[in-house]
């Protein structure tokens, strides 16, 4: 049986900051979708950890020194489930962070958090995205170059993440991820499931229609064979009747012997 802790630790690092998971339903949806896509993308990389909405502590002994990235990816860490992220226990440098901004958070995203990610956590790439487009800029990316963040340039309306090996594009209030190597868009699990169910339904309908057509073709062939048999029987009966008529006519035409 697992032993219970007999006393509380003297220093507590809370697992929740009491703040809501996301500003709005759309913010939450974008966050969950991006985490899901990245988890699927790195599912075979045992040393790549993807998470989000997790309290990250960056100064041992000071629980007030924390930040909670909406989405982050870090290399050199297993996929074990974390309750909090402590930089003195896990890799101190993050590779990728995405913050979903809004009018009420953008000042902190562009100032306080940006400084923490740049100077303390040394986050290699930092992206900020507002699903509602209420702030300007509503989508921006920074890359750490010589210890300073440099703004990324858009290429075909996309920002290329070197740490992810993927391109990010804001479209229709959602953040889409593109794999340039495979030239394909990555989809969250629910979208793949929906498409799989749609394909299965369409395949089942097509199979049912094919079976219906096959049944109708079989019925038509059987009806044609039945008509052919009936026509052959009718023809035989007509030929038999004709033969009888010809025989009767011939007997009438033959002179009787005196």
Nearest C-alpha neighbor of 182 from the set 165, 157, 160: 165
Q: With beta carbons less than 8 A apart as the criterion, state whether 99 and 113 touch.
A: yes
Q: In the numeric block, which tokens belong to residue 200?
A: 């299965």
Residue reference for tokens 């006393």: 7
User: 169: how many CB neighbours lie within 10 A of its CB?
Assistant: 16
Range 165-168 contact pairs with CB under 8 angstroms and sequence separation of 24 or more: 166/41, 168/127, 168/129, 168/141
Q: In the numeric block, which tokens belong to residue 3?
A: 């032993």
| 44-48, 72-76, 195-199, 233-237: least confidently modelled range | 195-199
pTM exceeds cut of 0.85: no
The arithmetic mean of pLDDT across residues 209-225, rounded, is 79
pLDDT at 193: 66
Chain Cα centroid distance, residue 102:
25
The arithmetic mean of pLDDT across residues 164-186, rounded, is 94
pLDDT for 1 beyond 90: no
pLDDT for 237 beyond 90: no
Residue reference for tokens 């750490």: 144
pLDDT at 196: 53
Residue 170 CB partners (closer than 8 Å, separation 6+):
129, 138, 139, 157, 176
């Amino acid at each position: 049986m697992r032993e219970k802790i007999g006393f509380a630790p003297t220093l507590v690092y809370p697992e929740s900051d009491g703040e809501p998971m996301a500003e709005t339903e759309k913010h939450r949806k974008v966050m969950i979708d991006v985490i899901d896509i990245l988890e699927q993308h790195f599912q075979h990389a045992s040393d790549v950890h993807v998470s989000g909405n997790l309290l990250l502590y960056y100064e041992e002994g000071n629980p007030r020194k924390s930040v909670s990235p909406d989405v982050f990816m870090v290399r050199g860490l297993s996929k074990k489930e974390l309750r909090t992220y402590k930089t003195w226990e896990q890799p101190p440098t993050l590779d990728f962070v995405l913050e979903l901004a809004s009018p009420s958070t953008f000042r902190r995203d562009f100032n306080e958090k940006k400084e923490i990610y740049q100077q303390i956590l040394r986050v290699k790439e930092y992206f900020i995205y507002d699903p509602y487009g209420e702030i300007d800029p509503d989508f921006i990316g920074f890359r750490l170059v010589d210890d300073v963040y440099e703004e990324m340039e858009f290429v075909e309306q996309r920002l290329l993440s070197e740490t992810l090996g993927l391109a990010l594009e804001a479209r229709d209030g959602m953040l889409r991820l593109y794999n340039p190597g495979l030239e394909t868009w990555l989809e969250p699990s629910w979208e793949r499931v929906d498409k799989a169910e749609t394909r299965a339904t369409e395949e089942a309908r097509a199979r049912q229609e094919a079976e219906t057509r096959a049944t109708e073709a079989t019925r038509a062939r059987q009806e044609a064979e039945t008509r052919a048999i009936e026509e052959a029987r009718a023809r035989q009966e007509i030929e038999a009747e004709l033969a009888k008529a010809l025989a009767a006519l011939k007997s009438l035409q033959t002179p009787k012997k005196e």
